[in-house]
C-alpha cells in the first residue's frame, strides 16, 4: 500500500495557492520530488492517484482543512492518516517519544472564516508546515509506535480516528436532510406564530402571565433563575433549585405550567426559528464534527447542537423523495464493551442475545430487569447512592471480573493515575482534564498514594484545624470524583472505539454495496444513512455486517454479541 503526502506547496506571494503530492515509502520517507498542482487541479489528480492505486492512503496535517477542498471538487479520499489526530493519540500514549514536529491541532475550525485561521492551505501568508516537516512527522509517528500488540492497537486507533475524520468531513459536506416546513409547523403548533426577536411567542407569553399570577409575582422574569427561585420560595415552595428534577417532587398548582414553560422555552431558544435561520442551508443541516473532541474519544460538535437534537424535533429530519432514512443503534453497547474488555465470562454469557439487562436480571436479580439495569449503570458510572449502590454487592458476586475491572480503574483515578481504553487512548492526568473532572488534590496537592490521607495542612501558617479538615474533605471528594471519571473513561472510551470502527467499516462497505446511499449522522452509538430506496435493504445488511466486523477487528474471536437494532422511515423520529 502506498502513502502519499498531501501538503501546501511553497508559493511566491501573489501566486495562486498550490498543492504538492509526494509519494512516501514504507518507512514514511519521501520517494521522489512529488507533483505540484493548483488547488483547482487537485481533486482530479487525487482521483487519478486512487484509480491507479485504490488502496493508497493520504497523509495530511488536518483532514478538516485538506479534505473539504477535495469534496467540493468531487473527489473522495479512500483512506487517510491524519497527522494531527495521530499526534494527539501518541501524545498521551507514548510520553517518552520525541515531541511532535507540527503544532497541536486547534480545537475546531470555523468554516465561516477560513481566511482568519492559521490553516494549512493559507500559504503563503501563514507559517504552514512544509512537506518536509510533515513527512518527518509521519515517519516519527510510525517509529514511535511500540512493537507488539500495543503498537498494533494504537495503529488501529490512528486509522479509526482518521477514517472518522474523513466521514466527519463528508457528513459536514453533504449535510443532514432537514425539512424546514415540518420544523416550522412544529414550532407554530407548540409556540404559536413566529414573533420578532426580543418578544415571546404567544404560548410562552401566556404561560409567563399564568406563572406570575400563580406565584403572585407580577414583575418576575421566569427566564431568570434567581428571580424564579425567589418567587417560588415566597410562594411557600421549599425547593433546592429550579431544576426540573427537584420541582417534580413539589405539589403546587404552579408546577405543571412551569414545567410546560421550561420545555417550550427550551424549544424556542435552542431549536426555534433562530436555529433554522442560523444553521439550515438548502434543506441541509451541516454541523462541524470534532473527531475525538471528547477526552474519552467520543466525537463532539460545534454549531447548532448537532449531538443534542431533541426527540420532538427529529421529525424534521426527513429523507428526500426516493430515499429513506435507515437508523441503527448498538443495543446496550457499554455493558457489552465491559464484558469484552474485562474478559468476564459470565457477563459475556449474559451479553449473548439481544436483552443483556434481562439476562443480568435472570442471573442476579430474580428477573427484575429494572433493578439489573440500575445496578449495571451504577457500576459503570460510579453510583454511590440509592438502589444502584445497594445492588452493587450482588452484581459483584455474579460478575466478579467485570466489577473488579471497574474498581481498579476507579482506584487508579483516585490515586491520580492514568487509565487507558482498549486500543490505548489515555485518560488525561489529573488537573489536565477539561470540564468537571479536575482531578484529585487540585491546588492542595494530589494524594500521594492509595489511602494516603494527604498533607497535614494544620501546621502551615494561616490554616486552622477546621480549614485543614475542610481542605482534606474537599481533596478526598475530588479524588473520588476523578475515580468516577476514570471508571467511566475505560468503558465510554472503548465503546467509542467500537462505534468508530463500526462506522468506518460501514463507510467502506456502503461504497461497494450501496453507492447511492450516504452516511449523514453519527451519534455515539447510532448511525443514520440517507439511503436510496433501492438500496435500503443492502444498507441494513451492511450495518449488521459492519457491527460484526467491528467486534472482530477490536476483540478478535470472543463470545460477546453486539446486536444492532435498525429501523427505517421517512423521518428520524419514526425510524427509531
Partner DNA sequence: GCTCAACGCGCC
Partner DNA sequence: AGGGCGCGTTGAGC
Closer residue to DNA, CB minimum distance, 126 or 241: 241
| Residue 196 lies near DNA (rule: CB under 7 A) | no
CA distance 42 to 48: 10
Residue 311 CB, shortest distance to DNA, in Å, is 4
Residue 230 CB, shortest distance to DNA, in Å, is 9
Residue 370 CB, shortest distance to DNA, in Å, is 12
Q: Which stretch binds DNA (CB under 7 A): 8-16, 236-244, 400-408, 557-565?
A: 236-244
The H or E element containing residue 24 is: strand 18-24
Is residue 308 within 8 A of residue 300, CB to CB? The reply is: no
| Residue 243 lies near DNA (rule: CB under 7 A) | yes
| Residue 342 lies near DNA (rule: CB under 7 A) | no
Member of 30, 382, 416, 563 binding DNA (CB under 7 A) = 382
Q: Up-side HSE of residue 171: CA atoms within 13 Å toward CB? A: 26
The H or E element containing residue 348 is: helix 345-350
Q: Up-side HSE of residue 191: CA atoms within 13 Å toward CB? A: 24
Q: Which stretch binds DNA (CB under 7 A): 54-62, 148-156, 381-389, 528-536?
A: 381-389
Closer residue to DNA, CB minimum distance, 388 or 546: 388
CA distance 30 to 128: 19
CA distance 493 to 440: 21
Member of 116, 193, 385, 556 binding DNA (CB under 7 A) = 385
| Residue 229 lies near DNA (rule: CB under 7 A) | yes
Residue 457 CB, shortest distance to DNA, in Å, is 20
Member of 127, 234, 244, 552 binding DNA (CB under 7 A) = 244
Cell 449531538, located at residue: 307
| Residue 237 lies near DNA (rule: CB under 7 A) | no
Cell 488547488, located at residue: 39
Member of 110, 126, 132, 241 binding DNA (CB under 7 A) = 241
CA distance 20 to 18: 7
Is residue 359 within 8 A of residue 350, CB to CB? The reply is: yes
- Determine if residue 103 is left, alpha or beta; phi over 0 gives left, psi from -120 to 50 gives alpha, anything else beta: beta
| Residue 381 lies near DNA (rule: CB under 7 A) | yes
Instruction: Give which of 393, 421, 395, 424 is closest to 409, Cα–Cα.
Output: 421
| Residue 224 lies near DNA (rule: CB under 7 A) | yes
In SS3 terms, 461-530 reads as CCCCHHHHHHHHHHHHHHHHHHHHHHHHHHHHHHHHHHHHHHHHHHHHHHHHHCCCCEEEEECCCEEEEE
Instruction: Give which of 123, 137, 119 is closest to 5, Cα–Cα.
Output: 137
Q: Which residues ranging from 356 to 375 are in contact with DNA (CB under 7 A)?
A: 374
Q: Which residues ranging from 436 to 495 are in contact with DNA (CB under 7 A)?
A: 436-437, 477, 481, 484-485, 488-489, 492
| Residue 497 lies near DNA (rule: CB under 7 A) | no
Member of 310, 353, 448, 450 binding DNA (CB under 7 A) = 310
Closer residue to DNA, CB minimum distance, 63 or 242: 242
Closer residue to DNA, CB minimum distance, 58 or 289: 289
Q: Which residues ranging from 257 to 286 are in contact with DNA (CB under 7 A)?
A: 262-263, 266, 269-270, 275
| Residue 302 lies near DNA (rule: CB under 7 A) | yes
In the complex, which residues of this chain contact DNA (CB under 7 A)?
221, 223-227, 229, 241-245, 262-263, 266, 269-270, 275, 290, 293-296, 298, 300-305, 307-311, 329, 374, 377-378, 381-385, 388, 433-437, 477, 481, 484-485, 488-489, 492, 523-526
Amino acid at each position: 500500500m502506498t502513502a502519499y503526502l498531501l501538503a501546501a506547496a511553497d508559493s511566491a506571494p501573489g501566486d495562486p495557492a498550490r498543492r504538492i503530492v509526494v509519494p512516501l515509502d514504507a518507512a514514511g520517507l519521501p520517494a521522489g520530488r512529488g507533483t505540484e498542482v493548483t488547488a483547482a487541479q487537485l481533486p482530479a489528480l487525487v482521483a487519478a492517484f486512487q484509480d491507479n492505486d485504490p488502496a493508497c492512503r493520504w497523509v495530511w496535517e488536518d483532514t478538516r482543512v485538506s479534505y473539504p477542498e477535495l469534496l467540493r471538487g468531487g473527489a473522495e479520499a479512500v483512506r487517510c492518516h491524519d497527522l494531527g489526530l495521530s499526534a494527539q493519540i501518541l501524545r498521551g500514549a507514548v510520553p517518552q517519544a520525541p515531541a511532535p514536529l507540527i503544532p497541536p491541532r486547534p480545537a475546531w475550525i470555523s468554516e465561516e472564516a477560513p481566511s482568519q485561521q492559521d490553516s494549512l492551505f493559507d500559504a503563503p501568508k501563514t507559517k504552514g508546515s512544509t512537506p518536509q516537516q510533515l513527512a518527518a512527522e509521519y515517519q516519527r509517528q510510525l517509529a514511535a509506535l511500540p512493537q507488539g500488540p500495543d503498537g498494533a492497537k494504537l495503529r488501529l486507533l490512528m486509522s479509526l480516528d482518521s477514517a472518522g475524520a474523513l466521514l466527519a468531513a463528508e457528513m459536514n459536506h453533504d449535510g443532514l436532510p432537514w425539512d424546514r416546513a415540518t420544523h416550522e409547523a412544529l414550532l407554530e403548533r407548540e409556540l404559536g406564530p413566529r414573533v420578532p426577536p426580543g418578544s415571546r411567542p404567544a404560548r410562552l407569553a401566556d404561560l409567563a402571565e399564568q406563572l406570575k399570577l400563580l406565584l403572585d409575582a407580577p414583575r418576575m422574569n421566569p427566564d431568570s433563575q434567581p428571580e424564579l427561585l425567589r418567587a417560588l420560595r415566597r410562594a411557600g415552595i421549599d425547593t433546592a433549585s429550579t431544576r426540573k428534577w427537584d420541582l417534580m417532587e413539589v405539589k403546587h398548582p404552579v408546577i405543571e405550567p412551569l414545567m410546560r414553560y421550561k420545555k417550550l422555552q427550551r424549544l424556542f431558544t435552542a431549536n426555534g426559528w433562530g436555529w433554522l435561520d442560523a444553521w439550515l442551508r438548502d434543506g441541509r443541516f451541516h454541523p462541524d464534527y470534532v473527531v475525538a473532541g471528547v477526552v474519552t474519544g467520543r466525537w463532539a460538535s460545534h454549531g447548532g447542537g448537532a449531538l443534542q437534537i431533541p426527540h420532538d424535533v427529529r421529525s424534521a429530519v426527513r429523507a428526500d423523495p426516493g430515499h429513506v432514512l435507515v437508523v441503527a443503534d448498538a443495543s446496550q453497547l457499554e455493558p457489552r464493551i465491559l464484558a469484552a474488555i474485562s474478559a468476564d465470562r459470565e457477563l459475556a454469557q449474559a451479553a449473548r442475545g439481544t436483552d443483556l439487562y434481562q439476562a443480568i436480571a435472570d442471573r442476579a436479580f430474580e428477573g427484575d430487569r429494572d433493578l439489573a439495569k440500575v445496578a449495571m449503570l451504577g457500576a459503570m458510572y460510579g453510583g454511590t447512592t440509592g438502589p444502584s449502590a445497594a445492588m452493587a454487592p450482588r452484581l459483584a458476586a455474579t460478575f466478579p471480573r467485570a466489577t473488579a475491572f471497574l474498581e481498579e480503574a476507579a482506584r487508579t483515578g483516585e490515586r491520580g493515575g492514568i487509565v487507558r481504553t482498549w486500543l490505548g487512548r489515555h485518560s488525561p492526568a489529573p488537573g489536565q482534564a477539561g470540564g468537571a473532572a479536575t482531578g484529585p488534590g487540585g491546588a492542595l496537592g494530589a494524594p500521594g498514594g492509595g489511602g494516603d490521607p494527604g498533607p497535614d495542612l494544620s501546621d502551615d501558617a494561616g490554616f486552622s484545624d477546621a480549614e485543614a479538615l475542610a481542605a482534606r474533605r474537599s481533596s478526598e471528594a475530588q479524588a473520588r470524583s476523578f475515580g468516577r471519571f476514570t471508571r467511566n473513561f475505560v468503558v465510554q472510551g472503548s465503546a467509542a472505539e467500537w462505534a468508530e470502527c463500526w462506522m468506518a467499516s460501514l463507510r467502506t462497505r456502503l461504497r461497494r454495496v450501496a453507492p447511492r446511499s450516504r452516511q449523514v449522522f453519527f451519534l455515539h452509538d447510532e448511525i443514520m444513512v440517507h439511503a436510496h430506496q433501492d438500496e435500503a435493504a443492502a444498507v441494513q445488511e451492511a450495518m449488521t455486517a459492519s457491527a460484526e466486523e467491528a467486534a472482530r477487528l477490536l476483540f478478535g474471536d470472543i463470545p460477546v454479541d453486539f446486536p444492532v437494532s435498525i429501523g427505517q422511515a421517512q423521518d428520524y423520529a419514526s425510524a427509531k
